[in-house]
Amino acid sequence: MQEITIDWIEPLWYGSIFLGSGGGGKSELLASVLYKALQNRSIPLLTLDELPENNFFCGVGLLGSPELSEESLPSGMEARIIIEELEKHTGAKFKGISIVEGAGVNIFYPLLTALQTGLPVTDGDAMGRAFPELQMTTYHLENLTVTPLVLIDSNYNLHLFLDKQDTFLLELNTRQIISQQGGVGYFAGFPYPGSVLKRVLLPGTLTFAREIGECFLQADNYRELFSLLLEVTSNSFYGPVVEIFQGTVTNISTYEITKWKAATLISPKGEKLQLLFQYENLLAFKNGNMVASVPDLISAIDLNKLKPVNNNEIYEGQQLALLGLPAPLRLRISKALDVVGPQCFGYRTIYVPLEKLYWDYYHKKEVFS
Amino acid sequence: MKLTLGIFLNGQSGTLIAGSGKYLLYEGKFSWQTFLDELEHCLSILGLSRKDVIKVYFTPPLSSSAKSDIKPIFHLRLVPEQFSAFFTQSQNLQKLVTIFQVTPEKLLQKLEENKEQIKKANVISIIAPFGLVYPEKEDKAIRILKKLASATILKSQDYPQLGFYEREKALLIADNFMVTVYPYLKQLRDFFAPYPPGIYWVENEAVCLTEDFLPQTCGKIYEFAPLLQIARGAAVLFGYRYSLALFKVGSTFKLFQVQNSLEVSELSPPFSFISASSVQPLLASLKYRLPENVQGIIPIFNFSSYYFSDSYPYRFYQLAFSKLLRYIGFLTAPAVLTSLTICKQEELYENKKNLLKNLHLINKKHNFLEKPVVFYQETPIRYLTFNHTILKVGLKESSSLQL
């Protein structure tokens, strides 16, 4: 059994931003709290193989706006309350914490919960990247419900969703509560035994996030960073990373509906790339042709700082490299694309895998070598 | 000659410095009563007139010698019952502030109980977590406070920083500013009338105090302001366009870069940069992503008292903290004009245009920045009953120091 120690935090921080694919949020305050708490402690990390078949785990996470989590920082008390409440209603005694969204701020919150409850955490998650909604998980693919789910808002009001209900509807209900109660809440749900989690979760994603982050710490220049990322991603179930574009942000436009945004990048050669994003980066068009689409990950790297950046950190004049990372295979099947494909975000286009868009790169060049 | 005045305040006394470019021309001590005399003395020694003063800078730390038990700042937190709040301000500030945490429901009763304390305060500030306590409730609290006391009331709605602790920090520093610096501002403006120079607050960059710009930017790097200024001072004094400065704060190393002699930014990573052994790897990785125009030897001003060996392109210069470096770094801080607002997403473009127009007008009126460069940043606030964005628009000086 591995242990998450203080050395994990910084690489995990960069890895969480990269896998956030532009979204997922980041809370330096939360990471700092964890960093301080891990000074002389550690969190047990269980790989999926190590999960006890009959022991129950619960998924915890932050729901709502990661930015607003800094407005009302989790005290840790809420984690105990929601887990105890969930135990009361399920009758199960939880023996561990499972991660639902293995990117952004939702990597750190389960770790904080694990630390406060003394429970181990699973090395795997149900999204493999950042997604904004509850149905966009691998649980959905296995027809497993999110409920029973306990939600606590920033005013410490408990909201119980105990009956089996449609995940889309649950998503709407929880968002409505969150919107009225401070924009951020914490949930405990997905109560499943190890035997189910072994089947459902994407394995090793926490370790993968750390490995991705290590690349950012080790690399001295962009080429080296790309090579390191290529090595790490080629040896994962995601697939080799590909460079989509390098250029300078010339424009960021906002559409009337708040979540629709687009950034325009120009390369030194004069090529133009349009990056469409809402919370996460969703589509990229180079000179009018699609070059990447959700659920594949589109992550931006600040070329001056050589660090991954979130969408709300992009500014005009910034030099960025956009990298594409193939989504795990399970997010690419029809049933998954019904909930995470481009059309789910309101775009009238279909998903085209990176391997098809970069045929030569993936099939002729020996990227796996 | 274009003269910049710098003022350090330390309780009832202070230090007045004056400089032009990289030259420090004057240093003198003053007390509250002798402030104007010292100013007069400074100008007469230098043989300059009031019109030659183009900027007046104030900087942290602000310390006030509260002689009595009555704390001049009354800080009200209007928060929900279970809200987890802690106070992490410096000892210096703790001496000045009474923190009072109350829920909106119990507000009236609690304020009534503490009426005497509120009446005696010089400055009252109020903060509520965004989205959890709505502005109407905050406004109601302000109305009650206004009835109870005649003190200046600063409200958190004017401080658009996202994050309760960040906003509270800014608010408390602004409170302290009101208590400590504000009395001097009036004296300064009267002294320089009818051509008052721009008055600025300097943590890293100099932030104009006209039109209430203080709320927008103060507090973020309050504790590290001296280090940033020393780093800049060393770059200016030794005449390097690009340099690095290494400090040790507690057990943590801090690395800053100074670009164009003046622009200081932090390079040390947020978490694990602790031991001396992490310095060299960080410098090694930095080597490959230096700005394009940086060539040859890069000086590192080492204030950490640890020895590091030179390795190309870095050369370490072992330096000790000195007043002179701080003074020069302080007086040469580049000015910025920044404006923040919280606005609806649909009105973003219009707001951006208006803020920019406004900033240009202020800049022209006060003649702050010669060749301003525009910058802006948007942070959407999601998952509330409304869709708003924090919009930051700013102007900063484009050219480097004219030495």
- A254, A277, A303, A311, best to mutate vs chain B, most B CBs in 10 Å: A254
DSSP one-letter code for A363: I
Task: Write the pLDDT tens digit of every residue in B204-253.
Answer: 988 887 666 677 778 778 888 999 999 999 999 999 999 999 999 888 88
Question: Cβ contact (<8 Å) for B380 and A258?
Answer: yes
The answer as to whether B144 is a domain residue is yes
Which position has the higher pLDDT, A204 or B289?
A: A204
Residue of B nearest to A251 (CA): B376
- pLDDT at residue B96 in the model: 83
For A229-247, how does the pLDDT look when each residue is reduced to its tens digit (9 = 90+)? 999 999 999 999 999 999 9
Residue B85 pLDDT exceeds 90: no
Tell me, yes or no, whether B122 lies in a domain.
Answer: yes
Q: What's B46's domain CATH number?
A: 3.30.420.40
Cβ atoms of B58 and B201 closer than 8 Å: yes
Q: Which residues in chain A have their CB less than 8 angstroms from residue B131's CB?
A: 68, 71, 154, 182-184
- Per-residue pLDDT tens over the stretch A54-79: 999 999 999 988 888 888 778 778 88
Residues 6+ apart with CB under 8 A from A182: A68, A71, A72, A153, A154, A155, B129, B130, B131, B132, B384
Note whether residue B171 is domain-resident.
no
pLDDT over threshold 60, residue A339: yes
Distance from CA of A82 to the nearest CA of B (A): 15
Looking at the fold, whether B390 and B373 belong to one and the same domain comes out as yes
**Could you give the percent of chain B with pLDDT greater than 70?**
93
Whether the Cβ atoms of residue A244 and residue A271 lie closer than 8 Å to each other? no
pLDDT of amino acid B273: 60
Least CB–CB distance from A156: residue in B82, B162, B271: B82
If asked whether residues B320 and B242 sit together in one domain, one would say yes
Calpha distance B368→B21 (Å, rounded): 16
One domain for residues B101 and B160? yes
What is the arithmetic mean of pLDDT over B109-135?
87
Report if residue B96 sits inside a domain.
Answer: yes
The question of ipTM being above 0.95 is answered as no
Q: Beta-carbon neighbour count of residue B71 at 10 Å? A: 19
Identify the CATH homologous superfamily for domain A2-203: CV3147-like domain (3.40.1610.10)
- In-domain check, residue B170: no
Instruction: Give pLDDT, residue A255.
Output: 63
Say what the pLDDT of residue A254 is.
Answer: 67
Q: Are residue B57 and residue B185 in the same domain, yes or no?
A: yes
Length of chain A: 369
pLDDT (tens digit per residue) in A4-42: 999 899 999 999 999 999 988 887 888 888 888 898 899
Looking at the fold, whether B199 and B148 belong to one and the same domain comes out as: no
Mean pLDDT along residues A315-334: 92
Q: Are residues B353 and B264 in the same domain?
A: no
Q: Is the pLDDT of residue A369 over 60?
A: no
Edge to edge, the sheet with strand A94-99 lists A2-4, A43-46, A121-122, A94-99, A56-64, A184-193, A149-153, A158-161
Decide if B11 is inside a domain: yes
Asked whether the predicted pLDDT for residue A361 surpasses 60, the reply is: yes
Identify whether B19 is part of a domain: yes
Q: Give domain A237-364's CATH number out of 3.40.50, 2.40.390, 1.10.12, 1.10.10.
A: 2.40.390
Residues B238 and B152 both lie in one domain: no
Looking at the partner chain, which of B162, B291, B389 has a beta carbon nearest the beta carbon of A71? B162
Return mean pLDDT, chain B.
85
Q: In this predicted structure, what is the pLDDT of residue B69?
A: 67
Instruction: Please give the angle made by the CA atoms of A278, A146 and A353, to the nearest 5 degrees.
Output: 45
| Domain final position from B297, B330, B363 | B330
Closest CA to A171 of A196, A189, A191: A189
Range B295-306 average pLDDT: 92
- Closest chain A residue to B343 measured between Cα atoms? A258
Look at residue B134 in the predicted model and tell me its pLDDT: 82
Q: A62-71, B147-156, B271-280: which range is least confident on average?
A: B271-280
The residue of chain B nearest to residue A39, with distances taken between CA atoms, is B272
Is the pLDDT reported for residue A262 higher than 60?
yes
Residues B40 and B79 grouped into a single domain: no
Which residue in chain A is spatially nearest to B269 when comparing CA positions?
Answer: A10
**Are residues B56 and B188 both part of a single domain?**
yes
Domain hosting B377: range is 334-397
Kindly tell me if the per-residue pLDDT of B401 is higher than 50.
no
* Angstrom distance (rounded) from CA A111 to CA A43: 7
In a domain, B13, yes or no: yes
State pLDDT tens for residues B327-339: 999 999 988 888 8
- Domain ranges for chain A: 2-203, 237-364
What H or E segment, with its residue span, contains residue A290? strand A289-293
CB B383 within 8 A of CB A67: no
Residue A367: per-residue pLDDT: 57
pLDDT surpassing 70 at residue B301:
yes
Region B114-125: mean pLDDT is 88
pLDDT (0 to 100) of residue B27: 95
Task: Tell me how many domains chain B contains.
Answer: 4
Residues above pLDDT 90, as percent of chain A? 66
Instruction: Supply the pLDDT for residue B68.
Output: 61
